[in-house]
Amino acid sequence: MAHQSLITIEHHIMMQEREHPEATGVFTGLLMDIALAGKIISREVNKAGLVEILGSTGSVNVQGEEVQKLDEFANSTLIDSLDHTGRVCIMSSEEDSNAIEIPPQYPCGGYTAAFDPLDGSSNIDANVPVGTIFSIHRKISKGPRGDEDDLLQVGRRQVAAGYIIYGSSTMMVYTTGNGVHGFTLDPSVGEFLLSHPNIRTPRRGRTYSANESNYHHWSEGIRRYVDRLKETDKPSGRPYNARYIGSLVADFHRNLLTGGVFLYPADVKDPKKPTGKLRLLYEAAPLAFVAEHAGGYASDGYQPILDLEPMSLHQRVPLFIGSLDDVKEIEQYIAEHDKRS
């Protein structure tokens, strides 16, 4: 059997960096800092049932969601891995209502980091896969320190994005715009080893992921689209399969590898979720960057997620993401059946 060469994520990032002669190694270091945080979070997630960190801290985050202890641990691990390195100038996290400034005693660098430290955390106690999502931009503000303008950049300008999924194994998937690559953690040596080089997502899938308990809160176009997926007169025979884990990173990762579409539409009847539930800066935009660089697509129903200008750190957007033809079809249903609100 051909010997699969052992390529660590560090080696892979450095090989990618060599293709950018202007790269200074700071960017490489930043991705390695995130990989380190992922290893530490993985260790804690994988023993969550054994030590007293299950259950919640009793506090509530900016989203009004109860903060699970692992959420807090993941958040502080990422901040502690990044804030002193001199590689980032400002950060944003789902867990923090305000931007996270670099402490004055540390230098600022040329990049920003936005992250959802532990997405899907409401599933932790049920041992359902959860994930870390991250998004990297270049600093654009003129001052020596970073500010919110550095974070509120359109998704297409990201220089890197990806996620770490803590599932049956821990994987880190990232792109710098030069292909999407997946690495599986070998916990016995603490290394992420290349296991999924150059991931390409099928143009059309056979899976759709949506929380259908919201069906009556969806627009006409979305309801007609999902109804269509279930009709049995389709020439391709079996209709689509429904697969919904309720953990964005897990649903996204499965669809990325095998094809399919994830839908979290706007809620036309719930004033609390007028624009959907998922956040643009550290959920939709980084996963859209990964999806597009794997040949897929992500839309808010009208335009690419990557073209949306963020107005605020925790801005929510409707999200349709996955196989290119499936997401484009959703846009067609919306164009045909929905009045533009």
DSSP readout, 180-236?
A: EEEEEEETTTTEEEEEE-S----SS-SEEE--GGGGGGS-HHHHHHHHHHH-TT-TT
Q: In angstroms, give the least distance from the CB of 298 to ligand P6P.
A: 14
Rounded to an integer, what is the distance from CA 334 to the centroid of its chain?
Answer: 24
Closer to ligand P6P by CB, 28 or 247: give it. Answer: 247
The alpha helices in the chain, defined as continuous H runs, are 9-18, 26-45, 69-82, 148-151, 220-230, 248-258, 285-293, 324-337
Of 158, 208, 177, which Cα lies nearest the Cα of 322?
A: 208
Closer to ligand P6P by CB, 112 or 214: give it. Answer: 214
* Class of residue 125 by CB neighbours under 10 A (exposed 0-12, middle 13-18, buried 19+): middle
Q: In angstroms, give the least distance from the CB of 179 to ligand P6P.
A: 25
Closer to ligand P6P by CB, 122 or 141: give it. Answer: 122
Closer to ligand P6P by CB, 9 or 67: give it. Answer: 67
Q: In angstroms, give the least distance from the CB of 279 to ligand P6P.
A: 8
CA angle 34, 173, 250 (to 5 degrees): 105
Q: In angstroms, give the least distance from the CB of 248 to ligand P6P.
A: 3
By CB under 6 A, name the binding residues for ligand P6P. Answer: 119-120, 122, 211, 246-248, 277
Closer to ligand P6P by CB, 107 or 274: give it. Answer: 274
Q: In angstroms, give the least distance from the CB of 314 to ligand P6P.
A: 12
The residues facing 134 across adjacent strands are: 115, 162
